A = this chain, B = another copy of it.
Amino acid sequence: MKTLRDIGENGLLRSILPLLPQRPDTLVGPGDDCAVVRVPGSPDDWLFTTDPVIERRHFLPETPARLVGRKAIARAVSDIAAMGGTPLWILVDLVAPAATPLSRIRGLYDGMIAAARKWNLGILGGDTAEGDTLELHITGVGRIPRHTAVLRSGARTGDLVYVTGTLGGAYLSGNRHHLLFDPRLEAGRFLAENHFATSMMDLSDGLAADLPRLLDASKRGVRLEAAAIPLSRAARQSSHPLRHALCDGEDFELLFTVPPRLRARFENAWKNRFPRLPATRIGTILATPRQRLLHLSDGSAIPFRPGGYQHFLTHEP
């Protein structure tokens, strides 16, 4: 009998997503960072995303509850940032064992409330239920001026591939990046408003897992320059910096593509606007979807294969 373990999260999504019924008012259905719908009369398109945050998967029993609450909201905000949008409202499903200490529950909500204040969000409620595992399920709702959402599917041949910040080691010992990251809200809006980005997503499962999703959506290949990939301090201090940068996940940086004719204009505008946040060019989009290469600093090239975290397939670290 086949199970989820046999096909992994990607296999599950491939088999299910095409079957889901869609309404004509839906601009982007399943498979991007957010769904995008059109509302009669509104000057905006509307963005929806959901994110589960589950004990022992996304946080540990000893993780401070406030930081878990913060992370849950920040993940949804990051999905909206990855479209170029502005988050407005949050809903929360809380699942918890009856024996959960009230102080822990209060910590979760304190973290969510502080995060909502930071990003000017309303928390519209949600639901609570008893269950065996502590979980938060966050729904994020945002808006973006009509026709300006940046999708995963927009990369064109010759576009330059960029990432914000540095990658890898979000979970490495002593590194709390996966709890304390700031979603790239302003950067996402800047890229969408100025029409610099042809495609965009946030890096949640690692460049090796997420870039192939962008390439699949855009039906393109890539030439990546290994030496160009910006390594986090945690990754650099490890014994396998590049592997951490490619596979760790939870970077929550933006991955996006810019047409080559806009390169100088984009890079100058970026440096003016975000002097302290690097946007690093790490590769080029290729025409052939199956042509996906990682060029190493010694001049050789190896196939760039999907990696990173995949639910149902990847075992716990």
Contact = CB atoms under 8 A, between A and B. Distances in A.
Interface of A: 1-7, 9, 12-13, 15-17, 19-23, 25-26, 29-32, 35, 37, 39-44, 46, 48-52, 54, 57-58, 88-89, 91-93, 95-103, 105-106, 109, 113, 116-117, 120-133, 135, 137, 139, 141, 311-313
A101 B58 CA distance: 23
Contacts of A2: 101-103
A129 B57 contact: yes
Given A3-B101, A7-B102, A51 B120 contact: no
A19 to B, nearest CB: 6
Contacts of A26: 89, 122, 124
B37 A40 contact: no
A81 to B, nearest CB: 16
B43 A43 contact: no
Given A23-B121, A89-B37, A130 B57 contact: yes
Query: Which of A17, A121, A125 gathers the greatest number of chain B CB atoms within 10 Å?
Result: A125
B311 A130 contact: yes
Contact of A125 (B1, B35, B57): B35
A149 to B, nearest CB: 13
A312 B98 contact: yes
14 contacts: A4-B102, A17-B125, A20-B116, A20-B123, A21-B113, A23-B89, A26-B89, A37-B89, A40-B43, A48-B141, A51-B93, A52-B137, A57-B130, A130-B311
Contacts of A92: 50
Contacts of A117: 21
Quickly give the copy total for this chain.
2
A291 to B, nearest CB: 29
B30 A98 contact: no
Nearest to A108: B16
Contacts of A121: 21, 23
A16 B109 CA distance: 8
B4 A311 contact: no
A113 B52 contact: no
Given A37-B124, A57-B131, 5 more contacts: A3-B98, A48-B139, A51-B93, A51-B127, A52-B137
Contacts of A137: 50, 52, 93, 137
